[in-house]
């Protein structure tokens, strides 16, 4: 009987060790930017797909006018401070219509579709300079939102303040991967003229620095799927209690065999 008890305890202990070992994370599956596609770091890594976002219809542009001319400055109220909250900026923005124009004040329609933010600023400046002196324009895209879902530490929709953001920076905003994030198969969902496109990205490969989808677009959705099996044992199993019971059983066994 005692021999059978000992054999059972040994089997249970070995089984638990095997389960715990199988739950361990292979670092090759979670380590980002491994030396795979790119092995030469001696020169600059070029991303041929990098391109500033082109304004499209439906976008909202926040436009602010500055001028060294006091009369012009007062006209546009640029002497007064603005409370630059996201809501304030959005409510004071101009929507690009279906034909690609913004209708700015009394200047009328200005074509901005297909332009970068910097190009749009110049186009607005040129229109205003027909009426005002020393006009400088600041424009900002206020609907640059991205959504990060799945195995990240802080899921949600984020408003991007800068003109461009990479998928790596977006995951940083979301707090990075959880222990179960599948870094080899991150899903990027992007709007297309007829619906959506889906791209699978391997973030363990440093070749992502040259990938077409490294830089995100407004309304992109990033989904980080869980790796293989999201093991209950790895995160929830009461190892301390289980080993305590085994230790107690072994102690009782040792006493009864004396």
Ramachandran assignment for 198, one of left (phi > 0), alpha (psi -120 to 50 degrees), beta (any other): beta
d(CA 184, CA 225): 10
Architecture of the CATH domain 27-51+145-226: Roll (3.10)
Question: What pLDDT is attached to residue 132?
Answer: 85
Q: Where does CATH 3.30.1950.10 sit in the chain?
A: 60-141
Q: Where does CATH 3.10.560.10 sit in the chain?
A: 27-51+145-226
- The CATH class of 60-141 is alpha beta
The pTM of the full predicted model, rounded to 2 decimals, is: 0.71
pLDDT in tens, the chain (258 residues): 556 655 665 666 656 555 555 555 555 666 888 888 888 878 888 887 766 788 998 999 999 888 888 888 778 775 555 566 777 888 889 999 999 999 987 788 999 999 999 999 999 999 999 888 788 999 989 989 999 999 999 999 999 888 789 999 999 999 999 988 999 989 999 988 889 999 999 999 999 999 989 999 999 999 999 987 555 444 555 556 556 666 666 666 666 665
Question: What pLDDT is attached to residue 171?
Answer: 96
Question: What pLDDT is attached to residue 219?
Answer: 93
């Amino acid at each position: 009987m005692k021999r059978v008890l000992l054999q059972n305890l040994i089997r249970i202990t070995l089984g638990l060790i095997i389960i715990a070992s199988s739950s361990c994370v292979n670092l090759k599956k979670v380590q980002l930017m491994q030396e795979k596609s790119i092995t030469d770091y001696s020169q600059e890594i070029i991303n041929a797909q990098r391109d500033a976002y082109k304004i499209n219809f439906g976008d909202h542009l926040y436009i602010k006018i500055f001028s060294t001319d006091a009369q012009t400055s007062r006209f546009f109220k640029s002497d007064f401070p603005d409370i630059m909250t996201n809501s304030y900026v959005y409510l004071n923005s101009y929507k690009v219509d279906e034909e690609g124009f913004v209708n700015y004040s009394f200047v009328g329609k200005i074509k901005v579709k297909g332009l970068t933010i910097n190009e749009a600023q110049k186009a607005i400046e040129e229109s205003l300079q027909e009426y005002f002196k020393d006009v400088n324009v600041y424009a900002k895209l206020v609907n640059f939102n991205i959504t990060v879902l799945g195995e990240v530490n802080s899921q949600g929709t984020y408003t991007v303040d800068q003109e461009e953001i990479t998928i790596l920076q977006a995951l940083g905003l979301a707090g990075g991967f959880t222990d179960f994030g599948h870094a080899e198969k991150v899903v990027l969902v992007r709007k297309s003229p007829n619906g959506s496109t889906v791209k699978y990205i391997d973030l363990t490969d440093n070749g992502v620095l040259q990938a077409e989808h490294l830089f995100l677009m407004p309304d992109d959705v990033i989904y980080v799927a869980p790796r293989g099996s999201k093991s209950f044992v790895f995160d929830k199993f009461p190892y301390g209690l289980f080993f305590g019971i085994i230790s107690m059983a072994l102690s009782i066994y040792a006493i009864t065999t004396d």
